[in-house]
Amino acid sequence: MNHTRLSSASTLLLKPLSNSHLSWKMQFQTLFIGYDLLGFIDGSKPCPPATLIQDNTTRPNPSYVLWIRQDQLILNALIGSISPTIIPFIAQATTSRQAWTILANTYAKPSRGRIKQIKNQLKNTTKGSLGVTEFMQAIKTQADDLALLGAPIDDEEITDKILDGLGDDYKELVRAVQARDTSITFEELHDKLLNFEASLQTLPPAPHQFPTTANPTYRVSNKNWRSSQPQGTTTTN
């Protein structure tokens, strides 16, 4: 196989901490299946013996050398696809399977603390300055992680979370979606939000208006006039 291509492809994959371990895992698995390398990480293609005995003579095993080279290239690809802050977690791994297992246990192992952490992230995720697609991907990623950890949320909850996090600019669309008799799919909602986002970007900026009584010149001159008046005195008997 083309080892350089594998290494290059791995740099395009999502990082476990920057996004979802589920997405990262799925992309790597499809890459490994395509290159017939899945056996290196699932254990179905174990390391062959380092030596062979032929005619009572011990000789190096060429298959062992090739396996080690391939496995180290896969390990390098895994290391290159994760955040620098995660690398210490797999620093002791000597094979790609060991690194893969550590990452799975760290980011995909169901735990009450991990589930609570993701739920808090989901609760606090709002659109803010994010684009529609980026915002919805963040919500979907967190929902996928919860499903992976055995704490799935249904499609209606995902939709409600998206609508709650959109902000005032999208109130009109939110009301329209909430008034529907039938539920809306994630894809349909994404499409409607993209169209609405585009319409918002074409609106002219609102003119800056001052209240009719707001006259900066008057306020300054009036303030100067008051400060120029003599101060009253208090007489005590």
Residue 102 has pLDDT above 50, yes or no: yes
Assigned domain for 223 exists: no
Assigned domain for 8 exists: yes
Among 30, 49, 34, 25, smallest CA distance to 2 is for: 34
The predicted pLDDT at position 141 comes to 87
Query: What does R_g of the chain's alpha carbons equal in angstroms?
Result: 31
Same domain, 103 and 20: yes
Q: Rounded to whole angstroms, how far apart are CA atoms 192 and 210?
A: 35
Assigned domain for 23 exists: yes
Q: Rounded to whole angstroms, how far apart are CA atoms 167 and 171?
A: 7
Assigned domain for 237 exists: no
* Token pair of 117 as six digits: 């952490």
Same domain, 7 and 103: yes
Same domain, 121 and 185: yes
The predicted pLDDT at position 113 comes to 84
Same domain, 103 and 119: no
The predicted pLDDT at position 202 comes to 83
Residue 19 has pLDDT above 70, yes or no: no
The predicted pLDDT at position 107 comes to 79
Residue 172 structural domain: 112-201
Residue 20 has pLDDT above 80, yes or no: no
Q: pLDDT tens-digit profile of 54-66?
A: 888 999 999 999 9
Assigned domain for 65 exists: yes
Q: Rounded to whole angstroms, how far apart are CA atoms 63 and 47?
A: 9
**Least confident residue range of 15-29, 100-114, 219-233:** 219-233
Assigned domain for 26 exists: yes
Q: Rounded to whole angstroms, how far apart are CA atoms 73 and 90?
A: 15
State the total domains in the chain: 2
Q: pLDDT tens-digit profile of 149-201?
A: 888 999 999 999 999 999 999 999 999 999 999 999 999 999 999 999 999 88
Assigned domain for 177 exists: yes
The predicted pLDDT at position 221 comes to 44
Assigned domain for 118 exists: yes
Q: CB of 103 within 8 A of CB of 21?
A: yes
At which of 56, 90, 107 does a domain end? Answer: 107
pTM, entire model: 0.55
Cβ contacts of 83 within 8 Å, gap of 6 or more:
15, 16, 17, 18
